[in-house]
Structure 1
Amino acid sequence: MTKIGLIGGIGPESTISYYRSIVHRVRERLGDHSLPKLSIETLNAFEVFSFCKAEQYDELSDYVVDAINNLAAAGAQYAALTGNTPNVVLDKLKAKSPIPLISSIDATLRVAKQRGLKRVGLLGTVFTMTNTFFQAPFGQAGIEIVIPNVEQIAYIQSKIEAELEHGVVTDETRDGFVKIINTMKQKDGIEQVILGCTELPLLLNDGNSPVPCLDCVDIHVDAIVDRIVRA
């Protein structure tokens, strides 16, 4: 099997989900006695946020690439980020990385195209929602990305930093996110919503969202498992 290196800690809760899901899906594909070859290099999500807030993108890319280098030294043949915010420097990462990256953005776009979508909402950190690493490739594919308003973006970011990154999940916060999605459905006509922060599946799923979800963790894990078993 191909060995995968996961950039974890961005955040820790999603890293756990990635590891568990990859293990389970490899076993489903290859049998109960099969386990994937994985290494995890843990970064600090709050360091990533600090770099983004200060627009220190060279420092951010160096921070992530150092982790990728460690994974490559441990024998990883591909790397994958367990958080979407560092994709703000994806072009720099691709240029500096010693091994290929399995992109959550590319995987999510493939699924959106398969579903025939034309207008989707995007929830995530403020850096994910206000930068173009989702908007640009989706726009080129003819899919419009809609983001919440300024007040809603600030609310989402505050809940991600203060709660979800620490594994705190409350009904009140879930209701707040559902209200935002419902507004985007009614006002902007979104067909589905991208859960563009990898902690958002702690709160949201097809069962409680006003529109179906493009769950980046679920979609990304499938892409990672495809690469693992392809060898």
Structure 2
Amino acid sequence: MRKLGMIGGTGPESTIAYYRSVIAGVQEVAGAETLPEIVIESLSAFRVLELCAREDYDALVDYLGSAVDRLAGSGSQVATLTALTPHIVFDRLQATSPIPLVSAVEATRDAALARGARRLALLGTQPTMTQDFFARPLREAGLDVVTPAPSEIAYIQDKIVRELEHGLVLDETRDGFAAIIRRLRDEGGAEHVVLGCTELPLLLDDETSPLPCLDPVEVHTHAVVAAITGSGG
């Protein structure tokens, strides 16, 4: 089994979810007494969001790339990001990384196709909803992607930064997100919703969302487990 390096802290809650899910996935493949070797390089979600807001992607590549280098130096043989927003520079990171990186965007695309999805609502941080790094691979695979209106994007971004990144989960916020998803279903024809921020599963699931949820954390961790165990999924 290959040693895994995770860039965590971007945000903290999702790092915990990734850690637990990777361990559970490895145990499912290799047995209950098998634990993977994992190194976590913890960065700051707020630093990532700041650099994205300034569109200083060179600095973001340096920030994340240095962490990947430290993971490789620790003996990690495969690495992953535990957040979706940093995937805005994933291609650049992958091009210079000394070890393979596992993409959450590719894992989400593959899961959507496996479901037979045709039209997806995409929620996430402001960069995820307004930039093309997440939606483009989905469209290139033949999927339609709809995103919230500008005022809804601002609302979602505020709730992610002020609440979810701090582990705060409020019923009123869940209701607000559900109303946005309902509109994207009724007016935009969306059939599934992609929870395109790793904190969104704290708030939404198939029971609380007006649309079936596609959780990138779940499908990404499956891909990570396959990469470190060689299980093929």
Contact kept, 8 Å, 2:78 with 2:228, in 1: the verdict is no
What residue is the counterpart of 2:34 in the other structure? 34
- Match for 2:63: what amino acid? Y
- Match for 2:195: what amino acid? L
Aligned ranges 1:131-170 → 2 under 5 Å: 131-170=131-170
RMSD between aligned residues: 0.9
- Mapped to 2, the partners of 1:98 and 1:227 lie a distance apart of 16
1:218 matched to 2:215: no
- Mapped to 2, the partners of 1:133 and 1:100 lie a distance apart of 19
Q: Secondary structure at the match of 1:188?
A: coil
Q: Secondary structure at the match of 1:33?
A: coil
1:102 matched to 2:102: yes
- Mapped to 1, the partners of 2:89 and 2:19 lie a distance apart of 24
- Match for 1:12: what amino acid? P
Output one character per residue of 1:159-212: Cα deviation in whole Å (capped at 9) or x when no partner.
Answer: 000000000001011111111101100000101010000000000111111111
Output one character per residue of 1:64-123: Cα deviation in whole Å (capped at 9) or x when no partner.
Answer: 000000100011111110001111112211122111110000001001111111110000
User: TM-score, normalising length from structure 2?
Assistant: 0.97
| Structure 2: gaps spanning 5 or more residues | none
- Mapped to 1, the partners of 2:30 and 2:135 lie a distance apart of 36
| Runs of 4+ residues over 6 Å off in structure 1 | none
Q: Secondary structure at the match of 2:39?
A: strand
Aligned ranges 1:170-185 → 2 under 5 Å: 170-185=170-185
- Mapped to 2, the partners of 1:140 and 1:19 lie a distance apart of 31
What residue is the counterpart of 2:71 in the other structure? 71
Q: Secondary structure at the match of 1:145?
A: strand
Q: Secondary structure at the match of 2:190?
A: coil
User: TM-score, normalising length from structure 1?
Assistant: 0.98
What percent identity do the matched residue pairs reach? 52
